[in-house]
């Protein structure tokens, strides 16, 4: 494998680890995949900085995820930086509700290599309305 192929595979594994942690509701595992200075750009919000801000974003969601499906995954790597885009469909339930809700949209990560590992340095997403 070339260095680029190794990096692409590492980012794909990072993506899968993130989705698995989200489905488990494991916020700490999601945050461990981020840089310490990660930036969050949630829809209809200003920029938030750091893992603690991410913890608030992820905790404030209050939804129980049933499933997340990512499609159209695209990764580009150049040196120690990269980005990942995808479309998503998340099925979730809100507290005290039995109804299943569906959210669809697009997702962007900016990635940074830290030593041998890749980490998420910026997270943003758009929800289809």
**Residue 29: how many other CB atoms lie within 10 Å:** 14
Report whether 84 contacts 108 (CB < 8 A). Answer: yes
Q: Using the CB atoms, write b or e for 40-64: b if 16+ within 10 Å.
A: bebeeeeebebbeebeebbeeeebe
**Residue 66: how many other CB atoms lie within 10 Å:** 13
For 24, residues 6+ apart whose C-beta sits below 8 A from its C-beta are none
The whole-number pLDDT of residue 84 equals 97
**pLDDT confidence of 80, banded at 50, 70, 90?**
very high
State the DSSP H helix or E strand holding residue 71, giving kind and residue range, or none if neither. Answer: strand 64-78
Q: Tens digit of pLDDT for each residue in 29-70?
A: 999 999 999 999 999 889 999 999 999 988 877 788 999 999
In the chain, % of residues over pLDDT 90: 78
**Residue 72: how many other CB atoms lie within 10 Å:** 10
Classified as helix, coil or strand, 99 is: coil
What tokens were used for 93? 């339930």
């Amino acid at each position: 494998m070339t260095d680029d192929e190794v990096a692409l595979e590492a980012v794909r594994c990072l993506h899968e680890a993130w989705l698995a942690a989200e489905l488990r509701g494991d916020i700490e595992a999601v945050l461990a995949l981020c840089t310490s200075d990660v930036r969050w750009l949630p829809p209809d919000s200003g920029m938030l900085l750091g893992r603690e801000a991410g913890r608030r974003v992820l905790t404030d969601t209050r939804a129980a995820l049933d499933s997340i499906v990512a499609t159209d995954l695209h990764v580009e790597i150049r040196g120690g930086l990269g980005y990942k885009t995808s479309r998503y469909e998340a099925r979730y339930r809100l507290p005290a509700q039995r109804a299943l809700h569906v959210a669809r949209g697009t997702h962007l990560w900016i990635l940074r290599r830290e030593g041998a590992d890749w980490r998420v340095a910026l997270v943003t997403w758009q929800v289809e309305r």
